[in-house]
Amino acid sequence: MQIDPKALRAAFSQFMTGVTVVTARSPGGDLIGFTANSFTSVSLDPPLLLVCPGRHLSSFDAFARAEHFAVSVLAEGQEHVSNLFAKSGTDRFAQADYDLDPNGAALISGRAAGFSCQTFQRVPAGDHMLLIGQITGFDKQPLPPLGYCPDGYFSLSKERQADAASASRKETIASVILRQGQNLLLDANGHLPSTQVGETAGARSALRGFLDGLGIEAHLGPVYSIYDETAGLRRKVLLGRVSEKAPTAPLQPHPISKTASLRQPTDALNVMLARFAAEHQSQSFGLYIGDAQQGEIHLLDKD
Residues of the chain with CATH 3.90.79.10: 156-301
Per-residue model confidence as pLDDT tens digits over 143-192: 889 887 765 676 666 555 555 554 554 588 999 999 998 999 999 999 99
Q: Which CATH class is domain 5-148?
A: mainly beta
Determine the pLDDT at residue 302.
Answer: 46
Tell me: pLDDT of 90 over 80: no
Residues of the chain with CATH 2.30.110.10: 5-148
Q: Which CATH class is domain 156-301?
A: alpha beta
Per-residue model confidence as pLDDT tens digits over 256-294: 888 777 788 888 888 888 888 888 877 777 777 777 777
DSSP track, the chain: ----HHHHHHHHTTS-EE-EEEEEE-TTS-EEEEEES-EEEEEETTEEEEE--BTTSTTHHHHHH-SEEEEEEPBTT-HHHHHHHH-SSS-GGGGS-EEE-TTS-EEETT-SEEEEEEEEEEEEETTEEEEEEEEEEEEE-S-PBPEEETTEEE-HHHHHHHHHHTTT--EEEEEEEEEETTEEEE-TTS---EEEEPTTS-HHHHHHHHHHHHT---EEEEEEEEEEEETTEEEEEEEEE--TTS--TTSEEEEGGGGGGSPPSSHHHHHHHHHHHHHHHHT-EEEEEEESS-EEEEEEE--
Taking the whole predicted model, whether its pTM rises above 0.85 is answered as no
